[in-house]
Structure 1
Amino acid sequence: MDFGTIRERMVDYLQGQGIDAQCAYPEMSRVRRDGAVAAVSLRACQGGPEGFRDYLGERYDQESGQWQELYGRKIVLTFGLDLYAPQGCGAAGIQETFDRMAEALQREGPPGLTLQELSCGETEFDQGAGLYHRAVEAVCRGYLYAVAQEGGTFLDFIVRGESRI
């Protein structure tokens, strides 16, 4: 799993809550929308020292018929959830979307992540783009863990919530 997948997980969660969202900096051309949209980016990832030295235990893998060792650590991810809206939607549309997003993130949040902090700036109008904009950040907590084969080779890493390891 790469960090782009983590962004996509947040986009999927927001869309499932009825909030128009897309990954920031899409490879495709931007589509003009009638309402507010959240542009999701990953601004920071903090997880302590390098490596997976924190042993979490073992699990039995049914497919391989072998025991696998788990290593991991807590991580803190800072998402950019910047809101953009056309003139017709305006600052009121930005505020309505922010309120729905805040409620959705407080209620449950994306799988494997727990919201710690949500903050936003003021809504401003960008003359060049012709859009209203409000910077939004969400700080989420989870676990980054890896599975090791016999001999210590790591297979993959996964982001999980605290209660799912």
Structure 2
Amino acid sequence: MNGLNQVRDAVLEALRRAGVAAVPAFEGAAKRYPGAVAAVDVAAGAGRAAGLGGYLGRRGDAEQGLDREVYGMQLETEITLSVRAERAAECETAMETAAQTLLRGLPSGLRLEKMSWSGIAWDRTTGMFVREGKAACRAVFLAEDDGGEGQLLDFILKGTMRR
């Protein structure tokens, strides 16, 4: 899974844990849902290695008796959210929950740097109220070598579980 999808999925999961129905933007922007729904998308601004050439150091794995090299990468991202609902009050409540989640509910590898929201508006296309938001975040990814042959494993967003 690439970095942008990992960020999007982490935001979707955080919103769902907070009680906001959330879908990827390509699945939900124009659909009708009961209650409020947040459509989430992510765009990248720039990426860079963390540490010298991405190298962060070594980590020992006592259980397997392995010594692994750890690498890091940072990605500047912009998350876009469109919160929609048939009722203005539902749209406002979901937006407030989404904003609080971006402030305090993201995984440790996703740091909010800036957030802005538009005012509530009526969307004639969907027949729903909408509040649109943008959040600039710094995403931190970690990867380890396999501990044997020196092959680098996938970069995983810090603070998320491996699948």
**How big is the shift at 1:43?**
1.9
The number of residue pairs the alignment matches comes to: 154
Superposition deviation, residue 74 in structure 1: 2.8
- Equivalent residue for 2:156? 158
Decide whether the 8 Å contact of 2:145 with 2:152 is kept in 1: yes
Shift of 1:114: 2.1
Distance between the aligned counterparts of 1:21 and 1:137, measured in 2? 15
Please give the root-mean-square deviation of Cα atoms over the aligned residues, in Å.
2.6
Question: Aligned-pair distance for 1:152?
Answer: 4.6
- The 3-state SS of whatever aligns with 1:94 is helix
Q: Is 1:121 matched up with 2:118?
A: yes
d(CA) in 1 for partners of 2:75, 2:13: 20
Contact 2:31 2:126 in 1 (8 A): no
1:140 aligns with 2:137: yes
What percentage of aligned pairs have identical amino acids? 32
Separation (CA, whole Å) in 1 of partners of 2:85 and 2:115:
20
Partners of 1:124 and 1:66 in 2: how far apart?
A: 56
SS across alignment from 2:135? strand
Aligned to 2:90: 93
Instruction: Name 1:24's counterpart in structure 2.
Output: 25
- Structure 2 distance, partners of 1:16, 1:108, is 9
Deviates more, 1:68-77 or 1:107-116: 107-116
Take 1:104 and 1:143, find their aligned partners in 2: how far apart are those partners? 18
TM-score (norm 1): 0.77
Q: Give SS of 1:98's match.
A: helix
TM-score (ref. length: structure 2): 0.78
**How far 1:39 moved relative to its partner?**
0.4
**2:91 is paired with a residue of what secondary structure?**
helix
Q: CA deviation at 1:38?
A: 0.6
